[in-house]
Amino acid sequence: MRAWRDAALFHLLFGAAAAGVFYLLRPPQLGWGILGLVGLYNLLLPLIGSRAGHHEWLDLWIFLLPLSLLQVLPDWVLTQQLGILGFPDLGGPRLGPVPAYMAGMWVIPLFWVLWLSEPSLLAAALLSLLLFGVAEWAARPLHLWQPLHVAQTCGVAYYVLPAEMLLGWAAAYAFREVRGRNPVVRLWAAACVSTFYTGALVLAYFLSTHVALRLPH
């Protein structure tokens, strides 16, 4: 129960800080503010986990941080190669077409997905669908990202939901298999998950735009 209390308190305070950044700042300062928030989250999560004795937080962060960094690549593919994702310019540095803060932002939802669902892979998939669905819905009014030229409702692209569901499942499976292993093995597992997710995105986009349109009605 103590871990739940500490996680809830930490994320409530972080949410309040995020609300303040979005309320007070405008581009180009907003992008720097978001980058600072994401960096602070990735510093405090393992620090608080270690000091409070929540060692599973540290284990999750060690796996999720390289995975989050690698998630810039599928976003880059969707943005520059397929042209179906856009990132408004809020300020701050970018990695190609992707804002730098995205490199650490994936840790936040995936922490909850993996922590709450353990040891059920099905729960990880369903929780990933829920959390990422909410994130996709909230992203457009916050001007974080937006789907382009694809079927969508309220800013949520249809093709991305099954891919993000598979992301939660794959991340939970990989973490279960490499937990406690050496850093090289964990990094390799994170790279495999990100590559799998990229393929799932492209396949889901292809099926939703090229195959579904040719099916008889």
The pLDDT of residue 209 is 86
CA dihedral sign of residues 164, 170, 172, 178 = negative
The pLDDT of residue 212 is 55
Cα-to-chain-centroid distance, residue 62: 15
Higher local confidence (pLDDT), 141 or 214: 141
Distance CA 78, CA 202 (A): 8
The partner residues of 94 in beta bridges, in order of sequence, read 99
Average pLDDT rounded to a whole number, residues 124-148: 97
Per-residue pLDDT band for 1 (boundaries 50, 70, 90) equals confident
Contact between residue 1 and residue 52 where contact means Cβ atoms under 8 Å apart: no
DSSP string, 110-148: HHHHHHHHTT-HHHHHHHHHHHHHHHHHHHHHHTS-EE-
Distance CA 94, CA 80 (A): 13
Per the listing, tokens 């937080």 go with 57
pLDDT in tens, 3-44: 999 999 999 999 999 999 999 999 999 999 999 999 999 999
The partner residues of 86 in beta bridges, in order of sequence, read 146
Give the CB-side neighbour count of residue 128, counting CA atoms within 13 A.
26
Residue range of the domain that includes 91: 2-214
- Say how many C-beta atoms besides its own lie within 10 A of residue 81's C-beta: 10
Question: What 3-state class would DSSP assign to 94?
Answer: strand
* 65: amino acid identity, one letter: L
The partner residues of 146 in beta bridges, in order of sequence, read 86
The pLDDT of residue 211 is 66
pLDDT(214) > 60:
no
Q: What are phi and psi of 6, to 5 degrees?
A: -65, -40
pLDDT in tens, 155-190: 999 999 999 999 999 999 999 999 989 999 999 999
pLDDT in tens, 194-204: 999 999 999 99
Per-residue pLDDT band for 215 (boundaries 50, 70, 90) equals very low
pLDDT in tens, 78-120: 999 999 999 999 999 999 999 999 999 999 999 999 999 999 9
This prediction's pTM: 0.95
Q: What are phi and psi of 159, to 5 degrees?
A: -65, -25
Q: Is the peptide bond before 28 cis (omega within 30 degrees of 0)?
A: yes
Task: Tell me how many domains the chain contains.
Answer: 1
The pLDDT of residue 194 is 98
Q: What are phi and psi of 131, to 5 degrees?
A: -65, -45
Per-residue pLDDT band for 210 (boundaries 50, 70, 90) equals confident
